[in-house]
């Protein structure tokens, strides 16, 4: 199968599996300029599926760097609120959302962390109305990736650019099940397996999870009336979508005030162009009270200062060490892929959908059940073949869920 066919298959999976796009729906796409070939294929598949209108917005690394190198200092507190207000209006009107990732993981590594922090905070505030509609699944949405040259060279630094891009594409296609005889059918079967995991966990109603291994002894209390999710989801508009292409996780909402102990990251976190490696934090009463990292510590500390909820958890996810992405042995420097190679936690905003009957609850009621609130949602990996996970019942009894990173249920 040649590259063009595989890229077209990825576009088809994005529309049919990722979005479940319905006739008459609008589609809003964001993508790096390098992803134009994939964006065009997705646009064609979207119109074939009956889309009424497809609108794409593109980001450019050179333009982003120009801002940091030449922009006025006061400009870093500015974000295009008008654009995000327009997106929110589109989502309120029923438009679907697709994001194509492929950013240079170290784009802003040499830039002033204070400027990066201010720009991220301004963007997060401006994007919040649109983002809330996404995370609450008011609409069907999805994210997938494009193998840009800058990203490929980061993943395969010893290879010529052309070979690095080709090898990264092979990894993306494999993780996204494009190499299967029928990718859409393969995704349906995979979703069924993930649904079985989440059903088991929802039936058990654990009160907490306990992670233990090198540098980690962490208890994550789970939110009251939490629900596990994973694989395809039903959005509130009734459309079935796969938010992440690829995905290997089942996840739920922690209790924002019931996390304690120490945890060490097992993979680097690539955040807004900065590589943060060797994260080690300590939680008390749900909040990070100590934080260090081997690289990117200044940026990490700025992230934790974003708002009151940035130093608390909004997600906990379980992923077996034997997942296809983990077995590839590739460090992607891309959260969409790396989070599906290992169990992980996320700082910041909780997914309301992971609280039972969330549609009927006020913000105050969701907070009372333990759902965290923040402008950020940043996943980082804590699982490996040395990490054990227990489910803790309300009585305090521990039941093994994972041993050496593998499911034992």
* Domain enclosing residue 142, as ranges: 3-175
Residue 377 in domain: yes
Q: Model confidence over 144-178: pLDDT tens digits?
A: 999 999 999 999 999 999 999 999 999 999 999 99
125 plus 227 within the same structural domain: no
Of the residues 127, 160, 175, the one at which a domain ends: 175
381 plus 321 within the same structural domain: yes
What CATH number does residue 47 fall under? Answer: 3.40.1830.10
Residue 186 in domain: no
Residue 199 in domain: no
Distance from C-alpha of 271 to C-alpha of 113, rounded to nearest angstrom: 12
Q: Look at residue 275 and tell me whether its pLDDT is greater than 90.
A: no
pLDDT of residue 335: 84
Structure tokens, 130: 């649109």
300 plus 167 within the same structural domain: no
Count up the domains in the chain and report the number.
Answer: 2
Cα 292 to Cα 213, 261, 289, 295: the distances in Å are: 18, 15, 10, 9
218 plus 163 within the same structural domain: no
Distance from C-alpha of 197 to C-alpha of 192, rounded to nearest angstrom: 9
Element (H, E) at 282: strand 280-284
Half-sphere exposure of 185 (CA within 13 A, CB side): 4
Please list, in sequence order, all residues whose beta carbon lies within 8 angstroms of the beta carbon of residue 402, skipping any fewer than 6 positions away.
318, 320, 343, 383, 387, 388, 389, 408
Contact yes or no for 299/292 (Cβ under 8 A): no
311 plus 214 within the same structural domain: yes
168 plus 304 within the same structural domain: no
Q: Model confidence over 392-407: pLDDT tens digits?
A: 999 999 999 999 999 9
Strands 96-101 and 141-145: parallel
Residue 183 in domain: no
Structure tokens, 365: 């009621």
| pTM for the full predicted model | 0.87
pLDDT of residue 113: 86
Of the residues 133, 159, 175, the one at which a domain ends: 175
DSSP 8-state symbol, 361 = -
Residue 367 in domain: yes
Residue 180 in domain: no
Burial class of residue 166 (count of CB atoms within 10 Å of its CB; 0-12, 13-18, 19+): middle
Q: Look at residue 208 and tell me whether its pLDDT is greater than 90.
A: yes
Of 7, 399, 407, which Cα lies nearest the Cα of 205?
Answer: 399
Distance from C-alpha of 321 to C-alpha of 318, rounded to nearest angstrom: 10
107 plus 243 within the same structural domain: no
Of the residues 156, 175, 194, the one at which a domain ends: 175
278 plus 343 within the same structural domain: yes
Residue 383 in domain: yes
pLDDT of residue 282: 98
**Rounded mean pLDDT, 37-45:** 98
59 plus 133 within the same structural domain: yes
245 plus 142 within the same structural domain: no
165 plus 122 within the same structural domain: yes
Least confident of 60-69, 98-107, 148-157, 268-277: 268-277
Structure tokens, 249: 């996780």
Distance from C-alpha of 161 to C-alpha of 148, rounded to nearest angstrom: 10
Distance from C-alpha of 209 to C-alpha of 222, rounded to nearest angstrom: 8
């Amino acid at each position: 199968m040649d590259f063009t066919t595989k890229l077209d298959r990825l576009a088809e999976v994005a529309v049919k599996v990722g979005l479940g796009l319905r006739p008459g729906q609008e589609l809003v796409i964001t993508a790096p300029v390098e992803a134009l070939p994939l964006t065009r294929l997705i646009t064609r598949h979207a119109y074939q599926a009956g889309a009424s209108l497809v609108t794409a917005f593109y980001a450019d690394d050179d333009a982003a760097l120009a801002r940091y190198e030449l922009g006025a200092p006061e400009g870093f507190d500015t974000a295009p609120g008008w654009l995000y207000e327009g997106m929110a209006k589109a989502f309120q009107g029923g438009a679907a959302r697709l994001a194509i990732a492929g950013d240079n993981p170290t784009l802003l590594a040499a830039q002033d962390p204070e400027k990066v922090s201010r720009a991220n905070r301004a963007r997060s505030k401006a994007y919040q109305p649109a983002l809330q509609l996404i995370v609450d699944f008011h609409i069907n949405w999805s994210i997938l990736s494009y193998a840009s040259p800058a990203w490929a060279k980061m993943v395969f630094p010893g290879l010529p650019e052309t070979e690095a891009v080709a090898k990264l594409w092979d990894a993306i296609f494999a993780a996204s099940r494009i190499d299967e005889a029928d990718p859409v059918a393969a995704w349906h079967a995979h979703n069924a397996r993930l649904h079985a995991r989440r059903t088991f966990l929802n039936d058990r109603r654990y009160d907490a999870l306990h992670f233990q291994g090198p540098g980690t002894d962490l208890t994550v209390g789970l939110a009251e009336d939490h629900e596990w999710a994973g694989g395809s989801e039903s959005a509130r508009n009734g459309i079935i979508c796969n938010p992440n292409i690829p995905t290997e996780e089942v996840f739920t909402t922690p209790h924002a005030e019931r996390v304690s102990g120490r945890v060490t990251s097992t993979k680097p976190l690539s955040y807004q162009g900065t590589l943060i490696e060797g994260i080690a934090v300590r939680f008390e009463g749900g909040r990070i009270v100590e934080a260090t990292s081997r690289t990117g510590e200044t940026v990490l500390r700025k992230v934790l200062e974003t708002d009151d909820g940035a130093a608390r958890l909004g997600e906990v996810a379980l992923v077996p060490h034997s997942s296809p992405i983990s077995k590839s042995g590739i460090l992607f420097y891309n959260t969409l892929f790396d989070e599906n190679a290992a169990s992980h936690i996320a700082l910041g905003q909780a997914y309301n959908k992971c609280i039972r009957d969330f549609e009927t609850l006020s913000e105050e009621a969701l907070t009372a059940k333990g759902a965290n609130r923040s402008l950020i949602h940043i996943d980082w990996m804590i699982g490996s073949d040395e990490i054990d996970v227990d489910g803790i019942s309300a009585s305090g009894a521990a039941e093994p869920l994972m041993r050496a990173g593998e499911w034992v249920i």
